[in-house]
Amino acid sequence: MHQQTVLEQPLLKLAQWTEGVERSALQQMLMRASGPDVISFALGLPAPELFPGREFSEAVVSVLTSQALALQYGPPFLPLKSHIVSLMRRRGVDCTEDMVFLTSGAQQGMSLVARLLLDSGSEVVLEECAYTGFQQILQPYSPRLLTVGTDLETGLDVDALERLFTRGCRPALVYAISDGHNPFGVSMDLAKRKALVNLAERFGVPILEDDAYGLIQYEDYPIPPLRSFNDELVFYVGSFSKILAPALRVGWIIVPKGLNDLFSIVKEAADIDTSTLSQRSIAAYIDLFDLGAHIKTLSQVYRQRRDTLLQALNTYLGPRARWSKPRSGLFMWVEVADLLDSAKLLARSLEKEKVAFIPGSAFAVNGGSLGRNALRLNFSNSPPDLIDEGIRRLARLLP
Ligand SMILES: Cc1ncc(COP(=O)(O)O)c(C=O)c1O
């Protein structure tokens, strides 16, 4: 896909790493195509009609009328950390308040982990297609990116990782999404999770576990995250974005012991505090209302949307394609047998059928060719009838 450099400004000398930064034509195309008549499977947005707006406004009012410190700079809010300890217990992770480090979203959590673990030119292991937000975090470090494959049913190729390690590679970190992978929509199976942690322990390599979606689960028996098997090498990153609202910009890291002070220093340099008002309002919301019930509702609605998408793919695409069946998260990865370039398909799809999605190639690490025959489809942001209609239209354009 055609790329444009972000800034062409001859007088201004920017840092060297910005030279490689490109703005993709894809981003521009999607911005132009966000009109109300477009059925969008593109972005990873939660369903806006499920935001608990009324309840949250009650929580904000209660905070603002009783806590003057809610508008002040302030230390991390301990009651919120206690709520996160309970959420983590639900997730199968035992931790204490002193291991919870509050961040401005999972995105900042990952930036801070990168800041602590990476030097310029460090090696990092990712899957061949990876969340673009993490790839952007890495860019200023000009890292050496090493990739391993992904199985659409069981997740990251742990054997390939072992081969890398056995050949002597000792990356600064391995990036993994064990649940609701973005973009693949797969959750790693239990055996692979254990094997991955085992490898990290054997070779002394840290893992950044991005669990932005893991509290939204569609099957009865969620698999515990990597952090439940190791508390020294796994940096677990969580978020309120998908279980409450992304606009609050609150997430957390479960940090290995002894690193809290260093995290505080890099966090202070980045943005001083996570919004005190957001921290206290979320804590008040959880005190006043039932976050567990809210997560259950989200999971039920998104499960139904996932099932509608699965059904529509079956009906309209059938044997022409194969796709992941997400147990968690908001995305499905669809590989179409004879599709040569999903970016070109997107242009036609926007023009002729008014359907948007993200071409798989947008996630390729190192500009690889993986994903050219694939589409990443989000299923949380459209009601079932639009999901069905969108796939029906899309199928008309597919080989
Ligand atoms: C895989 C993944 N990690 C992290 C994030 C960032 O989440 P947050 O809103 O908590 O910063 C996203 C956002 O969509 C994501 O898809």
pLDDT, tens only, 323-339: 999 999 999 999 999 99
45 lines ligand 1 (CB under 6 A): no
Specify whether the CB–CB gap between 162 and 169 falls below 8 A: no
pLDDT digits (tens, 9 = 90+) for 205-258: 999 999 999 999 999 989 999 999 999 999 999 999 999 999 999 999 999 989
pLDDT band for position 24 (50/70/90)? low
pLDDT digits (tens, 9 = 90+) for 332-370: 999 999 999 999 999 999 999 999 999 999 999 987 778
251 CA closest ligand 1 atom index:
10
- The finding on whether 329 has its CB within 6 A of some atom of ligand 1 is no
Spatial CA neighbour of 381 closest among 309, 317, 322: 309
The finding on whether 278 has its CB within 6 A of some atom of ligand 1 is: no
- pLDDT at position 38: 93
Half-sphere exposure of 125 (CA within 13 A, CB side): 27
257 φ, ψ (degrees, to nearest 5): -55, 145
Report the Cα–Cα distance between both ends of the chain, in Å, rounded.
Answer: 20
Q: What share of the chain has pLDDT > 70, as a percent?
A: 95
Query: From the alpha carbon of 44, which atom of ligand 1 is closest?
Result: 14
Q: DSSP letters of 170-200?
A: --SEEEE--SS-TTT-----HHHHHHHHHHH
Smallest Cα–Cα separation from 240: which of 195, 285, 208, 305?
285
Fill in the amino acid letter for 7. Answer: L
212 lines ligand 1 (CB under 6 A): yes
- Calculate how far, in angstroms, residue 102's C-alpha sits from the geometric centre of ligand 1: 15
Identify which of 102, 178, 210, 242 to mutate to test ligand 1's pocket (most ligand atoms within 8 A of the CB): 210
For residue 204, give the nearest of 170, 162, 158, 177 by alpha carbon.
Answer: 170
* SS3 assignment, position 218: coil
**Residue 397 to residue 350: CA distance in whole angstroms:** 11
Question: What pTM does this model have?
Answer: 0.95
Q: Report CA(397)–ligand 1 centroid distance (Å).
A: 31
H or E stretch including 76? Answer: none
pLDDT higher than threshold 90 for residue 9:
no
Phi, psi dihedrals of residue 155, rounded to the nearest 5°? 95, -160
